[in-house]
Each structure stands twice: as C-alpha cells, then as structure tokens.
A = this chain, B = another copy of it.
C-alpha cells in the first residue's frame, strides 16, 4: 500500500485565485521591517513577489544596524498609524532586546500574529490573525476534507512557531490534542495512537514506520537538511505504511506563505 500524498500546490493555486480576486480590488499594501540580513532580505523579496502576484503592494523597510528597540518601535508604530498600510511583517526571530517591538505592531495589521494582543486572541480562540504555519496545517487538512473534530491529534514539537499555537488551534477545532517533545517517553507508541500526526521538529527521519499505522494521516512540518536538500521529519519508509502524508518539499511549506495573505484579508476586515 502506498500513502496518498497531500501536495500543497493544488490548495495554493485555488487559494491564490480567491485571494487575488478579494485583495486586488482593495489597493492593499504590506510592509516588511527588518535588518540587512541576507536570509531575511531573500525572504522579503520572495514575499513581495507573492504579494504583487496577488495584487498587493509590498515595501521593505531595512533597519539601520544600530537601531534600538525604541527606534524600531517608532518605525513600526508609524506604519501602524499609516492608513495606507494594511499589513506589517517584522523580522523573526529578533534578539531578545527587541521583544518590546512586537507590542508596537497594530493588532489590526499584525500578519504574523506577533503582538501580545494577537497572541491572546489566538489563545482565547477569538477572531483575529493566526500564526502562518499552524494555519497552513489546518487549512491544508481542510482542503483535503480531513476533519479534526473528535480526532486524536498528536503534535511532535512544542515550539512557539508551530507546536504551541497548533495545539491551541487544533483544540479549537475540537480535536483531542497531545503534545510530545524531547522529554516524551514512548514517543513511537503515542504517535501510533494518532489519527492525525503532526511533526515539527526539523529532525530528518525522526518519524519512522513504527510511529504510524495504515490509518495515520501524517503532516510533516519539519524542515531539516540532508546532503544540502530540504528534508522533513518523516522517513521515506513511512510513505509505504500510512494512509496519507504531506511531502517535504511541496506540502505545508508553500501553503504557509499564502497564509500571511489570509491574515491580510482578516486584517482588512477589521
């Protein structure tokens, strides 16, 4: 038996079409804010390509390397007050001394769900933006008509970007949620009990055939590297055992980018 492969592309194509028709008529604009870091600038460039493809203006603010938290906050606050700006994306992660910057992003323009008020809205399950990667996981599952209600969802990884928000969001979808991590005992046994197993560790081949059954749906959010190639947490042998699996690359990854624009849509709605 071979697993169904849950590709992200078909979802991305249909989501882009929807977003293009909803966003292009709104003259929306997003602004990225970050330092002159090669990875970040590459990310911004690629984000702006997607933005323009969706009919959204995109600008990058490059910070002076000597900018203090107060300086950055002033810039972000001005963007928050600027009625021509609909969405703000601040470089992540920033060093700890810039923590206060996140409170300066208007919760109504906070495309990455970084402001504490946005986090609290997510925590309480209130309307608002959601972190892009866990949102991508849930939307991709929804695209493939995989319902979470009453299902046993096991999440491997408890990071702030994926595991922790996904735990709350999956709970909001009425899943019974278990979160595993480096201190978990009998990890394989717990994972085998999952209807839906979501892994976000960045440890290539962590999830082997003994972690799944023929009814497991596996969502691979891991991003590691093997011989210079991106590689998920899920070993190849799993593809021969489980019911369905999202590939890496080509699964959750491409969906994540699009979710920032789902948040833009929510932000504009506010």
Give chain A's interface residues, CB within 8 Å of chain B: 103, 116-117, 119-121, 123-124, 149-150, 152, 158, 160, 164, 167-168, 171, 174-181, 183-185, 190
Name the one of B121, B175, B184 contacting A150, with C-beta atoms under 8 angstroms. Answer: B184
Q: 6 nearest interchain CB pairs?
A: A116-B120, A174-B183, A178-B178, A176-B184, A119-B120, A150-B183
B164 near A174 with CB under 8 A, answer: no
**In whole angstroms, how far apart are the Cα atoms of A176 and B167 in the complex?**
12
Cβ contacts A to B, 27 pairs, < 8 Å: A116-B116, A116-B120, A116-B121, A119-B119, A119-B123, A119-B124, A123-B164, A124-B160, A149-B183, A150-B183, A150-B184, A158-B171, A167-B167, A167-B171, A167-B179, A171-B181, A175-B183, A176-B178, A176-B179, A176-B181, A176-B183, A176-B184, A176-B185, A176-B190, A177-B178, A178-B178, A178-B179
**In whole angstroms, how far apart are the Cα atoms of A152 and B180 in the complex?**
9
Main secondary structure of the interface of A (DSSP, over half): mixed
> B residues within 8 A CB of A123?
119, 123, 164
> B residues within 8 A CB of A180?
176
> B residues within 8 A CB of A181?
171, 174, 176
B117 near A185 with CB under 8 A, answer: no
> Which residue from chain B places its CB closest to the CB of A149 in the assembled complex?
B183
Q: A116-B117, A164-B171, A176-B190 are in contact. List 20 more A-B contacts (CB 8 A).
A: A103-B117, A116-B120, A119-B119, A119-B124, A120-B120, A123-B123, A124-B160, A149-B183, A150-B185, A164-B168, A167-B171, A167-B179, A174-B181, A174-B183, A176-B179, A176-B180, A176-B183, A176-B184, A177-B179, A178-B179
**In whole angstroms, how far apart are the Cα atoms of A175 and B179 in the complex?**
9
Name the one of B117, B171, B190 contacting A179, with C-beta atoms under 8 angstroms. Answer: B171
**In whole angstroms, how far apart are the Cα atoms of A164 and B125 in the complex?**
11
**In whole angstroms, how far apart are the Cα atoms of A150 and B181 in the complex?**
9
> B residues within 8 A CB of A183?
149-150, 174-176
**In whole angstroms, how far apart are the Cα atoms of A164 and B160 in the complex?**
16
**In whole angstroms, how far apart are the Cα atoms of A72 and B175 in the complex?**
37
> B residues within 8 A CB of A120?
116, 119-120
Whole-angstrom distance between the Cβ of A161 and the nearest chain B Cβ: 12
> Which residue from chain B places its CB closest to the CB of A167 in the assembled complex?
B167
> Which residue from chain B places its CB closest to the CB of A190 in the assembled complex?
B176
**In whole angstroms, how far apart are the Cα atoms of A28 and B146 in the complex?**
54
